[in-house]
Amino acid sequence: MSDIHLACVVGARPNYMKMAPLLRALEAYPHVRPVLIHTGQHYDPSLSDVFFNELGMRRPDISLEVGSGKHGAQTARVLERFEEVLERGTPEGHRYDRVVVVGDVNSTMAAALAAVKLGVAVAHVEAGLRSFDRTMPEEINRLVTDAVSDLLLVSEPAGLENLRREGHAESQLHLTGNVMIDTLKRMLPKARDRDGLVRYGLEAGRYGVVTLHRPANVDSPETLSALLDVLVAASREIPMVFPIHPRTQARVERFGLAERLGRASGIVQLPPLGYLDFLALTSQARVIITDSGGLQEESTVLGIPCLTARPNTERPITVDEGTSTLVSNDPRKLSESLQTVLDGRYKQGRCPALWDGRAGERIAKILAGKA
């Protein structure tokens, strides 16, 4: 069998835990030759390097260093620089046979678009997810990426339905399960070994974990301030651990909310954490409050109640089968659901099919032409 040259693209924090298991699984197929390309959308060590180290992922072969910027500018830089990468060919001088993109960040969409314009086939891992909310940048990224991909690797059944409705051929679709859960299952024993809780004075099952970074929640002073008020109130009952994304940190400071947050002794403010420290916290929490896509899935697998601060989700299985409830950015809904959890009346979830730690293997088999 002749070699298959893949350009595997990552750009931002949620991409690494999806690409790592795939690269690992591809090692079973020596004729598949992946080149790892980092766009540099995330560049802070806390959002990037730490994940490569902990996940045991090889260093990128090529870095595009696009950095932050407005959507148009950031996307354009990836398009321009990744197009050059594809035109140059692999470091060994081969033509790329396929580009592999994961998730829904700007880098995902831009890399897919650059590839298809050059006639390079695109595989999208985590295809078909739809929030049906076009105000979310990620929804646009998902729509565009899927439209130009010829191989669509899907994590939950709703994704298949969405792609069929959009007219994709059955031969393009594969329900492979959730590759991010491969990483979670592999890393969980190590994460639980860490003395993460002791360091912050926490007891297992007796604290909450909060992450907020979506523009809809953190870009307006009224919304952010109302959400923080609920968290501060809740932190009088149980400590709330809040690793703060740089975007959110900037807003907290700009809106003059830093003092209010700082005064609440039950709020444990932290910088963005590495994968293991974060998993140590989430896996032993009483409740998770988040607007992250990935965390809705992780909490479902961990069996931890997840109050999702979004009006919709592209991951409906986390609500229908899992432990997530949509509370929007409505302070009343958030505090009511939180009370349900603290009173022990919250629903139980179950782990969705194929979220079994082997999605990377299934995807690798398809990419290797052995499925």
Interface residue list for ligand UD1 (CB under 6 A): 12-14, 41-44, 47, 68, 105-106, 137-138, 213, 245-247
Candidates 219, 275, 228, 277; CA nearest to 248 is 219
Residue 126 has φ and ψ, to the nearest 5°, of: 85, 40
**Closer residue to ligand UD1, CB minimum distance, 125 or 364:** 125
Strands 287-290 and 121-127: unpaired
Residues designated catalytic: 213
Q: What are the tokens at 192?
A: 């639980």
Candidates 51, 83, 45; CA nearest to 64 is 83
**Closer residue to ligand UD1, CB minimum distance, 38 or 245:** 245
Q: What distance in Å separates the CA atoms of residue 126 and residue 86, rounded to the nearest whole number? A: 23
The residue assigned the tokens 């009224």 is 222
The DSSP string of 99-140 is EEEESSSHHHHHHHHHHHHTT-EEEEEEET-----TTSHHHH
Tell me how crowded residue 306 is: count the other CB atoms within 10 A of its CB. 31
* Closest distance to ligand UD1 from the beta carbon of 234 (Å): 23
**Closer residue to ligand UD1, CB minimum distance, 131 or 176:** 131
**Closer residue to ligand UD1, CB minimum distance, 138 or 156:** 138
* Closest distance to ligand UD1 from the beta carbon of 109 (Å): 8
* Closest distance to ligand UD1 from the beta carbon of 293 (Å): 6
* Half-sphere exposure for 141 (CA within 13 Å, toward CB): 22
**Closer residue to ligand UD1, CB minimum distance, 99 or 105:** 105
